[in-house]
Amino acid sequence: METKSFNAFKMAQQQFDHAADILELDEATRDFLRNPMREFHFNISITMDDGSKKIFRGFRSMHNDSRGPAKGGIRFHPQETIDTVRALSMWMTWKTSVADIPLGGGKGGVICDPHNLSLREQEQICRGWVRQIYKNVGPFTDIPAPDVMTNPQHMLWMLDEYETISGQKQPGFITGKPVGMGGSLGRTEATGYGVIITVREALKKLKLKTKDTTMSLQGFGNVSQYAIELYTQMGGKVICVSCWDQKDQKSYSFKKESGIELSELQGITDQFGGIDKEKAKDLGYEVLDGNVWLEQDVDILVPAALENQITQENANKISSRVKIISEGANGPTTPDADKVIKDKGIFMIPDFLANAGGVICSYFEQVQCNMNYFWSKDEVLGKLDQKMTFAFNAVTQFADKHDLYMRDAAYIIAVERVSKACKSRGWV
């Protein structure tokens, strides 16, 4: 999460300020969009399995809801901070805007480590989080979803608590639920598939064939696994993937020049995306330092873990062969690193465009829940492809027309849409 030298919210504000300068936004609009419209900090008191009481700190940030209800995940992380939550809620505002869906930006979190909590204790935290913020969230106000170390089971506990308090069935309150309990088919694949849809379009733009390309990824959670699945189905080859090792409290890279086998690695991976080192060695993988994924001689890099991963310090280690970076994670590249990447001539697909597949399918889930009619998986993934491709093309065309770096183009489109909505409502 945060380090003393890195603050995700300051980075998000820096990125916004750059777009605001280009757009020449007035002072009131800048002040309004630089900070969340509202945020909540609260204590969650639970009884642990040993009978003791423990207090967990929870947050919810609603950055902007001028274009629709706030939308955003809930993270469980031992190093969660309000500034991380603020940054992610701001990025979510731009993400829903660039994807052109009628939602705003929100984010939530709890400072906790699910690795060290029983399922019963995790359930208590989920229910406690809803009890603390019940009056300020809802299907037409602010719709949560899963994020780092939360899953469909957590969402269902939260939904159940919300419905218990309201006395009504409200499946549209939260997304990322299990299929059959208000969840949407295709939601699990959505973020990873969305990343690869943008890669596919970028390869077309650069006149490259997928089967002639290779990829290296950071992270081996949901996003990476589905990104690898679709990319290899399209004929590409993944040679390296990194992940966090909970036991050693450090990350490792797993490399196989002939191409990694997704199902093989999934068979030796824990529920948090941690790959078993010894079993990987037995399967012929090189187990290397966690940062090596970035230095691979590949065509495509996909950072799909946490913020602040590609920095000014390591950006120069990126191989001269790399042509595309598609950000599966939120905020993985710092503004200083962006300058290096731009100078290298790498085609950057920024986070809030590349990983918008998750929120697009969350929106589809919300729509299906609110009308109580569910679509087939093919229909969901077809609509996802259409939305992602349209958003990608809009950003690339704008970037080409104005000779802009892709991140700048995406920001200008997103910020302009939100600022216009705020102005039209008379907020600024």
Start-to-end C-alpha separation, the chain: 33
For residue 272, give the 3-state DSSP assignment.
Answer: coil
What residue type is assigned to position 376 of the chain?
Answer: S
C-alpha–C-alpha distance, residues 125 and 55, integer Å: 10
- Where would I find the H helices in 24-151? 27-34, 82-98, 119-133
Task: Tell me if 414 sits within 8 A of 352, measured CB to CB.
Answer: yes
- HSE-CB of 371 using CA atoms within 13 angstroms: 9
Residue-wise burial string across 376-397, b where 16 or more C-beta atoms lie within 10 A, e elsewhere: eeeebbebbeebbeebbebbbe
- Work out the angle at residue 324's Cα, subtended by the Cα atoms of residues 214 and 322, and round it to the nearest 5 degrees: 60
Of these residues, 10, 54, 95, 107, which one is catalytic?
A: 107
Distance of CA 366 to the CA centre of its chain: 18
Mark whether 281 is an active-site residue: no
CB-neighbour burial class of residue 85 (10 A; exposed 0-12, middle 13-18, buried 19+): buried
Residues near 133 by beta carbon (within 8 Å), at least 6 away in sequence: 40, 42, 58, 60, 108
Report, as residue numbers or ranges, the catalytic residues: 107
